[in-house]
Amino acid sequence: MKKVQFKSSYSQYFFLAPQLLILLIFLYWPIIQTFRDAFTIQDAFGFGSYFAGFDNFKFIFTDPSYYTAFKFTIIYSFVITLITGSIGLLLAVQANNVLHGKNVYKTLLIWPYAIAPAVVGVMANYFFSERFGLLYHLFNNLWGFNWYEDVFDAYIYVVIAGSWKQISANFIFFLAGLQAIQKTVIEASIIDCKSNIRRFWTITFPLLMPTTFFLIIINITYAFFDTFGIIDTTTIGAPGSETKTLVYKAYIDGFKGLDLGSAGAQSIMMMLIVLVITIFQFRYIEGKIHYN
Amino acid sequence: MKKLISILAILVSFTFTSNSYSKTEIHWWYGNSGFLGDVIIEIANRFNDSQDEYMVIPTGKGSYEDNMAATIAAFRAGDQPHYSQVYDAGAAIMVAQVKNGVVIGFEEMAKKYGIDVDADNYIPGIKNFYADADGKMVGVPFNSSTCLMYANMDILAEVGIEEVPRTYEEFEAIAQKIADAGYIPLLQSHSPWIWTENFFSRHNLLMTDGNNGYDAVPTKTLFAETDEFVMHWSKVKEWYEKGWYGYKGRAWGDNQAPFTNGEAAFWFGSAASFGGMKGVLPNFTTNPILYWDSVTGGKEYPTFIGGAANWILNGHTEEEYKGLAKFIEFMGSPEMDLYYHNMTGYAAVTKGGIELAETINFYRTSPYHKAVGDQLGLEGSTIPGGYRAGNWPQIREVIYENVEPMLNGDISVEKALSNMDKGAEKLLAQFAKTL
């Protein structure tokens, strides 16, 4: 094969330039700015600013509500990943087996994915309002549910609000994964094994591992970052600071509290956390997955 | 190429002509929404109709916090408005910015631009809240409220209570009666503002060291070491457990809703809250906020001014500041002051406005408006009329975070208050570093 090459050695830069410019402005510049903020102390308007070393990090590590936010974020992303993954898988398997009206099911199950998290939060508000919330009153009758003061009840509230929309995302990807499995494999397995459930766990599910792995990462990222709008429109972090995610805390401290140093330090901590989780997943989980 | 040049020429001439023919624009950003935002737009419209030279363009940026963040971001980008509404909790931050040239003090503006503006036009209590250490007025008083007690007179009549209580002791004496009749005796909408900051002002107690920050940069809050404050929250917790006080989360509206719907006897809110109740709740009154007789020995003290002021931001032309001064004068006229007072329920802030209200016997026809002026006009306080503590928006967050675990019994009252002190101490130290 003959290589195609441009004569000028500069033209590749020319074609790369727009993309690089976008990356530079929208990605690297903010990152550099975040690092600058994290290591400076300044007032709200940017005056009185000086290099502070690790003072901002010390500040957040001596803040009890930072640990609460950390704990909640870990619990929240774990629970959301588990719930949305399993329900999404269940729905995908069922929808995949439907013979009539398959597309109707599919479309209806995908719809919630198009709704913005803040809107989901506002809708959840209606369900969990003390005044007219259906779920509030159902749960209240069952065990005295009150998310204003009970931490566990507040967890239930934000988990339901946060999972609902993400189930759709899981559904789509699992369905696509199921449809990508070759028919011959499934047919061969039917001859060998009569039990539907056993066939699923020994043949279908292992073949879905790449999708599952991908969704775990997507769901964790979602719980970490995209649930911001949901928290802001439901519990606003209450009771105490028990339902504040790390992102929400950084926002409150940076934009409401006007402390950019602390918000910058928190952003860097978040970067590190995501880095650790991703490395862990790629090293220890991906090794066990077989792509085709 | 020719085509390009001619297009450019047209564009250039267009911008020039549009500039030379248009009025001087003055941008005013605000953090009120809904009805209160509409009134702000109406004020700007009235000013724009009253003269031809200047045009005030009001822009709503969301909540107080949103507007403050937007103003700061705009300043950092060199694109700040001329005039911006910043709330009480941000006052310390704004006053501190005079030395950095971000904010032009109201009295300084007169000197700098040779404009005739008069600080004495405003009533002293409100003027001092937005003044610097030397007593010079920096922020221009605008929507000045305070916390008031709203009472549902129908509920009181139903359970046979003739007089609206004035003290917490009187409230305690009747609370069980109200609860027995199936109503919530008491609700309030803002734990940091009403039951922290204004607990201290109402009882003439200092909230931070450094004389509430007026004499020295404060280093700590005095929550846990003020026995009266510990007593108050212990009582609140007791009421909560007895069902005398209902907590509906952090959202202002969620705590107000049961009162507006006639399910609660008393609610503590802002002087400007009655707009939404008129026509919904048939029979309610506005009253001074309760106080502990046992703490003050029967004396009543004024609360702090809440709400917001407008702040003049640096970096514009002399012509524009002249227009802004005209606008400030317009807003400070007795008629406009009374108009705003009447529409919103915020206090009248000018001497002229108060005189006008008396002349036309305004309070006879509008009983809801009276309590705010009465409460703010009380005398005899030995503490300053406000507090100058930086990072206060975050300190409010710390207060919120500790109220809920205190009410649900996770931590004791003493522990919650000392947690607040610890959090506040850190935040105050952080702010002090930037001065």
Q: Tell me which residue of A143, A10, A257, A221 sits closest to B391, measured CA to CA.
A: A257
Q: Considering only CB atoms, which chain A residues are within 8 Å of B405?
A: 239-240
DSSP-derived pairing of the beta strands B103-104 and B284-287: unpaired
- The residue of chain A nearest to residue B399, with distances taken between CA atoms, is A240
- The arithmetic mean of pLDDT across residues B137-149, rounded, is 93
- Rounded Cα distance between B277 and B274, Å, is 5
What tokens appear for B206 in the block?
């200092």
- B147 has a pLDDT exceeding 80: yes
In a domain, residue A204? The reply is yes
Q: Tell me which residue of B141, B205, B359, B181 sits closest to B262, measured CA to CA.
A: B181
Residues B296 and B159 in one domain: yes
With bands split at pLDDT 50, 70 and 90, how would you rate the model's confidence at A9? Answer: confident
What tokens appear for B55 in the block?
């045009």
Query: Which of B401, B403, B415, B420 to mutate: most A Cβ within 10 Å?
Result: B401
In a domain, residue B12? The reply is no
Residue A4 identity:
V
Looking at this predicted complex, what is its ipTM?
A: 0.84
* Structural domain of A202: 75-238
Question: Hey, is the C-beta of B397 within 8 angstroms of any chain A C-beta?
Answer: yes
**Residue entry with tokens 């959202």:** B251
**Angle CA B263–B268–B274, to nearest 5:** 80
Q: Considering only CB atoms, which chain A residues are within 8 Å of B391?
A: 257-259
pLDDT greater at residue A275 or residue A287: A275
Residues 56-85 of B with CB under 8 A from A: 65, 68-69, 72, 75-76
How many other β-carbons are positioned within 10 Å of the β-carbon of residue B389?
27
Residues B296 and B315 in one domain: no
The DSSP call for residue A142 is H
What tokens appear for B94 in the block?
């704004």
- Rounded Cα distance between B28 and B324, Å, is 9
In a domain, residue A232? The reply is yes
Q: Which of B100, B254, B394 sits opposite A47 (nearest CB)?
A: B100
Q: Note the pLDDT of residue B11.
A: 57
In a domain, residue B384? The reply is no
**Residue entry with tokens 């290589």:** A3
Tens of pLDDT, residues B34-93: 889 999 999 999 999 999 999 999 999 999 999 999 999 999 999 999 999 999 889 888
User: Taking CB atoms and an 8 Å limit, are B426 and A256 in contact across chains?
Assistant: no
CA dihedral sign, ordered B365, B366, B368, B374? negative
- B4 has a pLDDT exceeding 70: no
Sheet holding B284-287, edge to edge: B184-188, B264-270, B147-152, B284-287
Domain CATH for B422: 3.40.190.10
Q: Which of A239, A252, A257 sits opposite B405 (nearest CB)?
A: A239
- B15 has a pLDDT exceeding 60: no
Q: Note the pLDDT of residue B66.
A: 92
Question: Hey, is the C-beta of A30 within 8 angstroms of any chain B C-beta?
Answer: no
Indicate whether this model's pTM tops 0.90. no
Q: Tell me which residue of A39, A104, A74, A118 sits closest to A220, measured CA to CA.
A: A74
- B16 has a pLDDT exceeding 60: no
Helix (H) or strand (E) holding B15: helix B2-21
In a domain, residue A137? The reply is yes
Angstrom distances, CA of residue A231 to CA of A118, A252, B67, B172, B231: 8, 12, 21, 36, 33
- Rounded Cα distance between A163 and A156, Å, is 10
**Residue entry with tokens 């609460």:** A68
Q: Considering only CB atoms, which chain B residues are within 8 Å of A257?
A: 391, 393-394, 397
Percentage of chain A modeled with pLDDT above 70: 95
- B18 has a pLDDT exceeding 50: no
With bands split at pLDDT 50, 70 and 90, how would you rate the model's confidence at B276? Answer: confident
Phi and psi at residue B260, to the nearest 5°:
-60, -30
Q: Considering only CB atoms, which chain B residues are within 8 Å of A118?
A: none
With bands split at pLDDT 50, 70 and 90, how would you rate the model's confidence at A186? Answer: confident
- A184 has a pLDDT exceeding 70: yes
- A89 has a pLDDT exceeding 60: yes
In a domain, residue A198? The reply is yes
Percentage of chain B modeled with pLDDT above 90: 70
Tens of pLDDT, residues B323-342: 999 999 999 999 999 999 99
Residues B247 and B282 in one domain: yes
Tens of pLDDT, residues A11-24: 888 889 999 999 99
Q: Which of A59, A148, A258 sits opposite B249 (nearest CB)?
A: A148
Closest approach of B344 to chain A, Cα-based (Å)? 26
Produce one character per residue of B126-155: b if its CB has 16 or more CB atoms within 10 Å, e if not: bbbbbbbeeeebbbbbbbbbbbbbbbbeeb
User: Taking CB atoms and an 8 Å limit, are B72 and A44 in contact across chains?
Assistant: yes
Q: Which of B261, B405, B426 sits opposite A62 (nearest CB)?
A: B426
In a domain, residue B205? The reply is yes
Residue-wise DSSP of A86-104: HHHHHHHHHHHH--SSHHH
Contact B167, B293 (CB under 8 A): yes
Residues B398 and B346 in one domain: no
Query: Which of A39, A55, A62, A148 to mutate: most B Cβ within 10 Å?
Result: A148
Percentage of chain B modeled with pLDDT above 70: 95
Tens of pLDDT, residues B184-207: 999 999 999 999 999 999 999 999
* Structural domain of B313: 19-144+305-373
Residues B123 and B162 in one domain: no
User: Taking CB atoms and an 8 Å limit, are A238 and B400 in contact across chains?
Assistant: yes
Phi and psi at residue B54, to the nearest 5°:
-120, 155
Q: Tell me which residue of B25, B42, B5 sits closest to B336, measured CA to CA.
A: B42
Q: Strand, helix or coil at A231?
A: helix
- The arithmetic mean of pLDDT across residues A106-133, rounded, is 91
- Rounded Cα distance between B102 and B81, Å, is 11
- Rounded Cα distance between B4 and B38, Å, is 44
- A269 has a pLDDT exceeding 80: yes
Domain CATH for A232: 1.10.3720.10
Q: Note the pLDDT of residue B6.
A: 63
Q: Considering only CB atoms, which chain B residues are within 8 Å of A48?
A: 100, 433-435
Residues B284 and B418 in one domain: yes
Contact A112, A168 (CB under 8 A): yes
Choose the final residue of a domain: B322, B339, B373. Answer: B373
- Rounded Cα distance between B240 and B184, Å, is 10
Angstrom distances, CA of residue A224 to CA of A38, A74, A168, A213: 20, 8, 18, 17
Contact B28, B44 (CB under 8 A): yes
Q: Note the pLDDT of residue A97.
A: 85
CA end-to-end span of chain A, whole Å?
28
Residues 6+ apart with CB under 8 A from A119: none
- Rounded Cα distance between B277 and B267, Å, is 12
Domain count, chain B: 2
- The arithmetic mean of pLDDT across residues A218-245, rounded, is 92
- The arithmetic mean of pLDDT across residues B270-280, rounded, is 85
Residues B274 and B214 in one domain: yes
Residues 257-276 of A with CB under 8 A from B: 257-259, 261-262
User: Taking CB atoms and an 8 Å limit, are B394 and A259 in contact across chains?
Assistant: yes
What tokens appear for A150 in the block?
């009970």
Phi and psi at residue B267, to the nearest 5°:
-140, 135
User: Taking CB atoms and an 8 Å limit, are A59 and B257 in contact across chains?
Assistant: no
Residue-wise DSSP of B96-150: HTTTTTSEE-HHHHHHHHT----GGGB-HHHHHHTB-TTS-B-SEEEEEE-EEEE
In a domain, residue B13? The reply is no
Chain mean pLDDT for chain B: 90
With bands split at pLDDT 50, 70 and 90, how would you rate the model's confidence at A183? Answer: confident
In a domain, residue A130? The reply is yes
Q: Note the pLDDT of residue B112.
A: 81
In a domain, residue B417? The reply is yes
In a domain, residue A166? The reply is yes
Residues B68 and B162 in one domain: no
Domain count, chain A: 1
Residues 64-83 of A with CB under 8 A from B: 64-65
pLDDT greater at residue A1 or residue B394: B394
- The arithmetic mean of pLDDT across residues A101-105, rounded, is 84
Q: Is A168 exposed, middle or buried (0-12, 13-18, 19+ CB in 10 A)?
A: buried
With bands split at pLDDT 50, 70 and 90, how would you rate the model's confidence at B160? Answer: very high
- B303 has a pLDDT exceeding 90: yes
Residues B296 and B312 in one domain: no
- A120 has a pLDDT exceeding 80: yes
Contact A159, A81 (CB under 8 A): no
In a domain, residue A56? The reply is no
Produce one character per residue of A64-76: b if its CB has 16 or more CB atoms within 10 Å, e if not: ebbebbbebbbeb
Produce one character per residue of A26-50: b if its CB has 16 or more CB atoms within 10 Å, e if not: eeeeeeeebeebbbbbbbbbbebbe
Q: Note the pLDDT of residue B258.
A: 94
Q: Note the pLDDT of residue B431.
A: 87
In a domain, residue B212? The reply is yes
Q: Note the pLDDT of residue A77.
A: 94
With bands split at pLDDT 50, 70 and 90, how would you rate the model's confidence at B266? Answer: very high
Q: Note the pLDDT of residue B110.
A: 79
Q: Tell me which residue of A180, A203, A179 sits closest to A190, measured CA to CA.
A: A203
Q: Tell me which residue of A59, A58, A62, A67 sits closest to A242, measured CA to CA.
A: A67
Question: Hey, is the C-beta of B241 within 8 angstroms of any chain A C-beta?
Answer: no
Residues B242 and B254 in one domain: yes
Contact B334, B356 (CB under 8 A): yes
Q: Note the pLDDT of residue B17.
A: 47
Question: Hey, is the C-beta of B166 within 8 angstroms of any chain A C-beta?
Answer: no
Q: Note the pLDDT of residue B20.
A: 44
